């Protein structure tokens, strides 16, 4: 029987299948991409084919414009970690289910492991490094420390990004709203209660 189109071919992992599918999508949709992504020569009638090799990609990350070269199939997470040295966002599940790789795209939370870097062209990307630094922590990052809201710390950058987005949208969330705000982030160490207290602490102080 014929396979359904979305099923990976035998012997190909789901991740590589998705990455390959992403490259194909990039090839067919390049005509709609912002001009910051440059591919091979094309005419107005024929779409430019990107990849599979590296192409220049311009992104605005933490308020700074920059250009890097990466294959069109590169995920935003891989680009941040492997090309930009921004290792705050963590690769844990690598399939959009744990939230460890959460970053902000125009102020909204996204799983950076599950989107292509080229799809972030033209958007403002904010990573946990852009929220605060060790020398200048945000109120929420400080509250995470004070409320002991982390153990192994692997989920923490994603949690901080999600909670920062929550407080920006709703400076006075109740407990249920906080739980919903972090519902896409998994903490295997189970520090949810302390995370909620950290958010409440910042909310009471009117911080961010």
Q: Interface residues with ligand FES (CB under 6 A)?
A: 91-94, 96-101, 111, 113, 150-156, 187-189, 191
DSSP string covering the chain: -PPPTTSPPTT--HHHHHHHHHHHHHHHHGGGS-TTS--S---SSSPPPP-SS-EEEEEEETTEEEEEEE-TT-BHHHIIIIIS----S--SSSSSSS-TTEEEETTEEEEGGGSBGGGGTTSEEE-HHHH-BTTB--HHHHHHHHTT--SS-SSHHHHHHHHHHHHHH-SS--HHHHHHHTTT---TT--HHHHHHHHHHHHHHT--
């Amino acid at each position: 029987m014929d396979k359904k189109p979305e099923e990976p071919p035998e012997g190909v992992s789901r991740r590589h299948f998705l990455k390959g599918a992403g490259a194909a999508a990039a090839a067919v949709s390049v005509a709609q991409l912002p001009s910051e992504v440059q591919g091979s020569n094309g005419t107005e009638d024929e779409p430019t084919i990107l990849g599979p090799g590296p192409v220049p990609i311009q992104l605005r990350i933490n308020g700074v414009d920059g250009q890097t070269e990466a294959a069109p199939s590169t995920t935003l997470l891989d680009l941040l970690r492997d090309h930009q040295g921004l290792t705050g966002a963590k690769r844990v599940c690598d399939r959009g289910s744990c939230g460890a790789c959460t970053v902000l795209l125009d102020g909204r939370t996204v799983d950076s492991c599950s989107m292509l870097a080229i799809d972030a062209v033209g958007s403002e990307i904010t990573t946990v490094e852009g929220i605060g630094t060790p020398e200048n922590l945000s109120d929420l990052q400080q509250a995470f420390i004070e409320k002991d809201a982390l153990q192994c710390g692997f989920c923490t950058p994603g949690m901080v990004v999600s909670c920062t987005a929550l407080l920006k949208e709703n400076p006075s969330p109740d407990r249920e709203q906080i739980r919903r705000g972090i519902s896409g982030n998994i903490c295997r160490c189970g520090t949810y209660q302390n995370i909620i207290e950290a958010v409440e602490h910042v909310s009471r102080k009117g911080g961010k």
